Amino acid sequence: MKYTEMSAEQLKAEQECLSRKLDEYRNMKLCLNMARGKPGVDQLDLSMSMLDVMHSEVDYTDETGFDCRNYGKMDGIPSMKKMFAKMMQVSPEQVMVGGNSSLNMMFDTVAAFMYKSPVEGEKPWMEVKDRKFLCPVPGYDRHFGITEYFGFDMIPIPLNEDGPDMDLVEQLVSQNASVKGIWCIPKYSNPTGITYSDETVRRFARLKPKAKDFRIFWDDAYCIHDLTDTPDSLLSLMDECKKEGSEELPIVFASTSKITFPGSGVAALAAAGKNFDMLMEKYKYQTISFDKLNMLRHAKFFVNFDGVMDHMRKHRELLSPKFDLVVQKLEDSLKETGVISWNKPNGGYFVSVDVMQGTAKKVVQYCKEAGVELTGAGATYPYGKDPRDCNIRIAPSYPPIGELDTAMDVFCVAAKLAAAEKLMEE
Amino acid sequence: MKYTEMSAEQLKAEQECLSRKLDEYRNMKLCLNMARGKPGVDQLDLSMSMLDVMHSEVDYTDETGFDCRNYGKMDGIPSMKKMFAKMMQVSPEQVMVGGNSSLNMMFDTVAAFMYKSPVEGEKPWMEVKDRKFLCPVPGYDRHFGITEYFGFDMIPIPLNEDGPDMDLVEQLVSQNASVKGIWCIPKYSNPTGITYSDETVRRFARLKPKAKDFRIFWDDAYCIHDLTDTPDSLLSLMDECKKEGSEELPIVFASTSKITFPGSGVAALAAAGKNFDMLMEKYKYQTISFDKLNMLRHAKFFVNFDGVMDHMRKHRELLSPKFDLVVQKLEDSLKETGVISWNKPNGGYFVSVDVMQGTAKKVVQYCKEAGVELTGAGATYPYGKDPRDCNIRIAPSYPPIGELDTAMDVFCVAAKLAAAEKLMEE
Residue A341 is inside which H or E element, if any?
strand A341-342
CA A139, CA A383: separation in Å to the nearest integer?
12
**CA of B46, closest CA in chain A: separation in Å?**
10
Nearest CA among B83, B73, B102, B78 for reference residue B266: B102
d(CA A106, CA A219): 9
CA distance A142 to chain B (A): 7
CA nearest to B108 within chain A: A286
**For residue B424, with 0-12 CB atoms within 10 Å meaning exposed, 13-18 middle and 19 or more buried, which class applies?**
middle
Per the CB < 8 A criterion, the answer to whether B138 and B159 are in contact is yes
**Is the pLDDT assigned to residue B84 strictly greater than 90?**
yes
Q: What is the pLDDT of residues A52-85, one digit of tens each?
A: 999 999 999 999 999 999 999 999 999 999 999 9
Does A289 contact chain B (CB < 8 Å)? yes
CA distance B216 to B204: 8
CA dihedral sign of residues A221, A142, B108, A106: positive
Residues 6+ apart with CB under 8 A from B279: B96, B109, B112, B251, B269, B271
The one-letter amino acid at B56: S
Residues 89-108, chain B: which have Cβ within 8 Å of A? 99-101, 103-104, 107-108
Query: At residue B1, does pLDDT exceed 90?
Result: no
| Long-range contacts from A55-58, C-beta under 8 angstroms, 24+ separation | A55/B51, A55/B52, A55/B55, A56/B48, A56/B49, A56/B51, A56/B52, A58/A300, A58/B51
Helices B305-334 and B401-425 cross at an angle (nearest 10°) of 40
Residue A347 has pLDDT above 90, yes or no: yes
Q: B264 and A294: CB-CB below 8 Å?
A: yes
Q: Is the Cβ of A74 closer than 8 Å to some Cβ of chain B?
A: no
Asked if residues B276 and B22 have their Cβ atoms less than 8 Å apart, the reply is no
Any chain A CB within 8 A of the CB of B40?
no
Judged by a CB distance cut-off of 8 A, whether residue A114 touches chain B is: yes
**pLDDT, mean of residues B146-153:** 98
Give the number of other CB atoms < 10 A from CB of residue B353.
24
Q: Cβ of B9: how many Cβ atoms within 10 Å?
A: 8
Using the Cβ of B289 and the Cβ atoms of chain A, whether some distance falls under 8 Å is answered with yes
Over residues A375-381, mean pLDDT: 96
DSSP state of A328: H
Q: What is the predicted pLDDT for the residue at A1?
A: 87
Provide, as residue numbers in chain B, all residues whose Cβ is less than 8 Å from the Cβ of A257.
71
For residue A370, pLDDT over 90 is answered with yes
The sign one gets for the Cα dihedral A366, A398, B284, B53 is: positive
Question: In chain A, which residues have their Cβ closer than 8 Å to the Cβ of B108?
Answer: 286
How distant is the Cα of B361 from the closest Cα of chain A, in angstroms? 23
Find, in chain A, the residue whose alpha carbon is nearest to that of B112: A111
Please tell me the predicted confidence (pLDDT) of residue B266: 98
Q: How many CB pairs under 8 A join A and B?
A: 156
| Phi, then psi, of B307 in degrees rounded to 5 | -60, -40
For chain A, what percent of residues have pLDDT higher than 70? 100
Mean pLDDT value across residues B355-368:
98
Q: pLDDT by residue (tens digit) across B252-298?
A: 999 999 999 999 999 999 999 999 999 999 999 999 999 999 999 99
Closest A-chain CA to B45:
A56
Question: 10 Å Cβ neighbour count for B1?
Answer: 11
Secondary structure, 3-state, chain B: CCHHHCCHHHHHHHHHHHHHHHHHHHHCCCCEEECCCCCCHHHHHCCHHHHHCCCCCCCCECCCCCECCCCCCCCCCHHHHHHHHHHHCCCHHHEEECCCCHHHHHHHHHHHHHHCCCCCCCCCHHHCCCCEEEEEECCCHHHHHHHHHCCCEEEEEEEECCEECHHHHHHHHHHCCCEEEEEECCCCCCCCCCCCCHHHHHHHHCCCCCCCCCEEEEECCCCCCECCCCCCCCCCHHHHHHHHCCCCCEEEEEECCCCCCCCCCCEEEECCHHHHHHHHHHHHHHCCCCCHHHHHHHHHHHCCHHHHHHHHHHHHHHHHHHHHHHHHHHHHHHHHHCCCEECCCCECCCEEEECCCCCHHHHHHHHHHCCEEECCCCCCCHHHCCCCCCEEEECCCCCCHHHHHHHHHHHHHHHHHHHHHHHHHC
**pTM of whole model > 0.90?**
yes
* Minimum Cα–Cα distance from B59: chain A residue: A48
Q: Do B291 and A72 touch (CB under 8 A)?
A: no
Of B111, B150, B292, the CB nearest to A263: B292
Which of B 258-287 lie inside 8 A of A, CB atoms?
A: 261-264, 282, 284-287
What is the strand order of the sheet A391-394 is part of?
Answer: A341-342, A351-354, A391-394
Interchain contact, A56 vs B38, CB within 8 Å: no
Q: Does B49 touch chain A (CB under 8 A)?
A: yes
Q: What crossing angle do the helices spanning B141-149 and A273-286 adopt, rounded to 10°? A: 130
Task: Look at A44 and B51 and tell me if their CB atoms are within 8 Å.
Answer: no
Neighbours of A393 (CB within 10 A): 26
Q: What is the mean pLDDT of chain B?
A: 97
Measured between CA atoms, the residue of chain A closest to residue B66 is: A41
A319 pLDDT above the threshold of 90? yes
Taking only residues 381 to 410 of chain B, the set having a beta carbon closer than 8 angstroms to any beta carbon of chain A reads none
**In this complex, which of A72, A115, A262 lies closest to B114 when CB atoms are compared?**
A115
A257 — alpha (psi -120 to 50), left (phi > 0) or beta? alpha
pLDDT of residue A426: 83
**How far is B307 from B109, CA to CA, in rounded Å?**
30
Cβ–Cβ gap B56/A48 under 8 Å = yes
Are A70 and B36 an interchain contact pair (Cβ–Cβ within 8 Å)? no
B286, B290, B375: which to substitute to probe chain A, counting the most A Cβ within 10 Å?
A: B286
DSSP state of A89: T
pLDDT digits (tens, 9 = 90+) for B185-237: 999 999 999 999 999 999 999 999 999 999 999 999 999 999 999 999 999 99
- Nearest chain A residue to B109, by CA: A286
Contacts of A99 in chain B (CB under 8 A): 99-100, 291
Instruction: Return the pLDDT at B354.
Output: 97
From B229, B228, B295, B217, select the one nearest B260 (Cα to Cα): B295
CB contact under 8 A, A104 and B49: no
Q: Name which of A176, A70, A75, A186 is nearest A130 in CA terms.
A: A176
Give residue-wise pLDDT tens across range B103-130: 999 999 999 999 999 999 999 999 999 9
Mean pLDDT of chain A: 97
Under an 8 A CB cutoff, do A56 and B54 touch?
Answer: no
- The DSSP output letter for A226 is B
Please say whether the beta carbons of B183 and B139 come within 8 A.
Answer: yes
Closest of A60, A294, A78 to residue B264, by C-alpha: A294
For CA atoms B418, B419, B420, B425, the dihedral sign is positive
Strands lying side by side in the sheet with B341-342: B341-342, B351-354, B391-394
pLDDT digits over A101-154, tens only?
999 999 999 999 999 999 999 999 999 999 999 999 999 999 999 999 999 999
- Report the residue from A72, A261, A290 with minimal CB separation from B69: A261
Mutation choice for B interface testing from A50, A113, A261, A295 by most B CBs within 10 A: A261
| ipTM of predicted assembly, 2 dp | 0.96
Q: Which of residues 117-136 of A touch B (CB under 8 A)?
A: 126
Query: Residue B75: is its pLDDT beyond 90?
Result: yes
State yes or no: cis peptide before B138, omega within 30 of 0.
yes
DSSP collapsed to 3 states, A50-88: HHHCCCCCCCCECCCCCECCCCCCCCCCHHHHHHHHHHH
Which of A67, A75, A286, A296 would best serve as a mutation to test chain B binding (most B beta carbons within 10 A)? A286
A103–B149: do the CB atoms touch at under 8 Å?
no
Chain A residues with CB under 8 Å of B262 CB are 69-71, 288-289
What whole-number percentage of chain B has pLDDT above 90? 99
The pLDDT, as a whole number, for residue B49 is 97
* Closest residue in B to A109 (Cα–Cα): B286
Name all domains of chain A by residue range, CATH numbers in brackets.
3-43+309-425 (3.90.1150.10), 61-303 (3.40.640.10)
Instruction: Determine the pLDDT at residue B426.
Output: 83
| % of chain B surpassing 70 pLDDT | 100
Q: Return the H-helix or E-strand segment holding A273.
A: helix A273-286
Residue A125 DSSP symbol: G
Q: Which residues of A touch B44 (CB under 8 A)?
A: 67, 69-70
Judge whether residue A354 has pLDDT over 90: yes
| Mean pLDDT, residues A156-166 taken together | 98
